[in-house]
Amino acid sequence: MTVPRGFQFFMHPGPTNIPHRVLMAMARPAVDFTAPEFVASRDRSLERMKGILKTTKGFVIAYAASGNGAWDASIANLFSPGDKVLVPTTGYFADRWATTARKYGLEVEVVPTPERRAVDPEAVARHLAADAKGAIKAVMLVQNETATGMRHPVAEVRAAMDRVGHPALYLVDTISSLASYDFRMDEWGVDLVVGGSQKGLMLPPGMSFTAIDGRAWEAAQSARNPRRYWDWREVVEDGRQVRFCGTPPMAHFHGLEVALDMIEEEGLENVFARHRRLADATRACVRAWGRGGGPEIFPLDSEFASDSLTAVLVPAGHDADRVRAIAQDRYSVALGRGLGELQGRVFRIGHMGDLNEPMLLGALAAIELALAEAGVPHARGGVEAAMDALRAPAGTPLAAAAD
């Protein structure tokens, strides 16, 4: 039996590694959540979240709930039973959001997307153009489908909606892209954004967000879906959240302040650049493994491969879960499993949040060992390919020393 020693390399696509600074900030005794100190911190963080989402028009509400709660909140507040919504399929998480809508009595019209491909904005436009009576109340898109490691074209879907002049609201799930790669709520005309704490924000699960613009807020005033815990009208005054239905997630707020400090210190665009760099290295590694018919990056178009995780498709007849089990049990490298119909076909390497090059390279090296031990055909040299992708040109200056 192997006794685990050293660090666990936690490479899940959420939850992600929690920085020590965040953990320490959260380890605080309870405080009065109506006291000025907490209220000021809460208000500051909700305001700063607008910067992450690049909105000045919208405002952010937080919930003591995982991302599923923010899905419920979006649907409970915006719609009435019988309303129709359009959901481009992207995989497991788009399906689950659609299921949530159905449970609230909504009719869901699906825009099918071929497996391993990104959502086609033209297909969305066709469905909207055929809706002459304006029955479709909203388009619901997942920006980063965590089950497939694929990014979907948020700005292009907006452009398609505008082209056909359809008035539907535009709802986007950013749970696994938030603070990992770019999202522009105002510029991309998104009316409602769903976010979560446990991925790019580097917090534990249990806090989620919706960012709401004027159109979404207006829709919530006349919507007839039942709501209590999620009711925006109970917690918002003058365009900002002033209370919670119940006790706020106080420890998460303590952690959020520090997580936002860390993002600000690095610079949001630098955070994105780091995610891109680690993603590029991971993709170079998987491509090297795949030479001559081995594992493949799940998205077929590299343009749409996610910067926050890579889903790796193992060759038919091989078991991705066996690779995961070896990586975990022998090398303490925790990987994400394939979800739904992808179970056993893919494993997922999370490379979002608090992560650097040696953590990634160590994990990729262990995965390469696990592939060999699981008998999955692959070419050697994945780690070298990842190193080549990371190699800085000779003479690149170091970041300024701290002292």
Contact 100, 72 (CB under 8 A): yes
Residue 157, helix vs strand vs coil: helix
CB of 93 to ligand PLP, least distance (A): 4
Q: Say how many CA atoms lie within 13 Å of 293 toward its Cβ.
A: 3
Nearer to ligand PLP, 140 or 288 (CB): 140
List the x/- string, 1-30, binding to ligand PLP by CB under 6 A: -------------x----------------
CB of 175 to ligand PLP, least distance (A): 4
CB of 398 to ligand PLP, least distance (A): 35
CB of 368 to ligand PLP, least distance (A): 26
The residue whose Cβ lies closest to ligand PLP is 67
Residue 121, helix vs strand vs coil: helix
Q: What would the two tokens of residue 249 be?
A: 């997630």
Q: Which residue reads 């949001």 in tokens?
A: 268
The span of 40-48, 60-68, 222-230, 236-244 binding ligand PLP (CB under 6 A) equals 60-68
Q: Which run of H or E residues covers position 289?
A: helix 268-290
Contact 158, 193 (CB under 8 A): no
How far, in Å, CA of 180 to CA of 51, rounded?
Answer: 13
Site for ligand PLP in 81-100 (CB under 6 A): 93
Rg (CA), the chain: 22
Exactly one of 41, 66, 80, 343 binds ligand PLP (CB under 6 A); that residue is 66
The span of 65-73, 156-164, 225-233, 345-353 binding ligand PLP (CB under 6 A) equals 65-73
The span of 64-72, 74-82, 127-135, 284-292 binding ligand PLP (CB under 6 A) equals 64-72
Q: What would the two tokens of residue 160 be?
A: 């398609």
Nearer to ligand PLP, 196 or 353 (CB): 196
DSSP string, 197-248: SSSTT---SS-EEEEE-HHHHHHHHH--S--STT-HHHHEETTEE---SSS-
Nearer to ligand PLP, 250 or 309 (CB): 309
Nearer to ligand PLP, 196 or 255 (CB): 196
| Count of residues touching ligand PLP (by CB under 6 A) | 12
**CB atoms closer than 10 angstroms to residue 115:** 12
Q: Which residue reads 């070896």 in tokens?
A: 326
CB of 311 to ligand PLP, least distance (A): 12
Nearer to ligand PLP, 294 or 336 (CB): 336
CB of 69 to ligand PLP, least distance (A): 7
CB of 13 to ligand PLP, least distance (A): 7
CB of 92 to ligand PLP, least distance (A): 8
Nearer to ligand PLP, 336 or 362 (CB): 336
Site for ligand PLP in 123-162 (CB under 6 A): 142, 146
Sheet containing 296-297, strands listed edge to edge, beginning at the edge strand earlier in sequence:
9-11, 333-337, 346-350, 309-313, 296-297
**CB atoms closer than 10 angstroms to residue 212:** 29
| 175 makes contact with ligand PLP (CB under 6 A) | yes
Enumerate residues 6+ apart whose C-beta is below 8 A from 218.
none
Tell me which residue of 91, 41, 138 sits closest to 313, measured CA to CA.
91
| 67 makes contact with ligand PLP (CB under 6 A) | yes
Nearer to ligand PLP, 55 or 198 (CB): 198
Exactly one of 72, 95, 173, 182 binds ligand PLP (CB under 6 A); that residue is 173
| 334 makes contact with ligand PLP (CB under 6 A) | no
Contact 83, 107 (CB under 8 A): yes
Tell me which residue of 45, 108, 75 sits closest to 230, measured CA to CA.
75
| Residues paired with residue 108 on neighbouring β-strands, in sequence order | 85
Exactly one of 77, 176, 310, 332 binds ligand PLP (CB under 6 A); that residue is 176
List the x/- string, 183-202, binding to ligand PLP by CB under 6 A: -------------x------
Sign of CA dihedral 290, 295, 301, 305: negative
Binding residues vs ligand PLP (CB under 6 A): 14, 66-68, 93, 142, 146, 173, 175-176, 196, 205
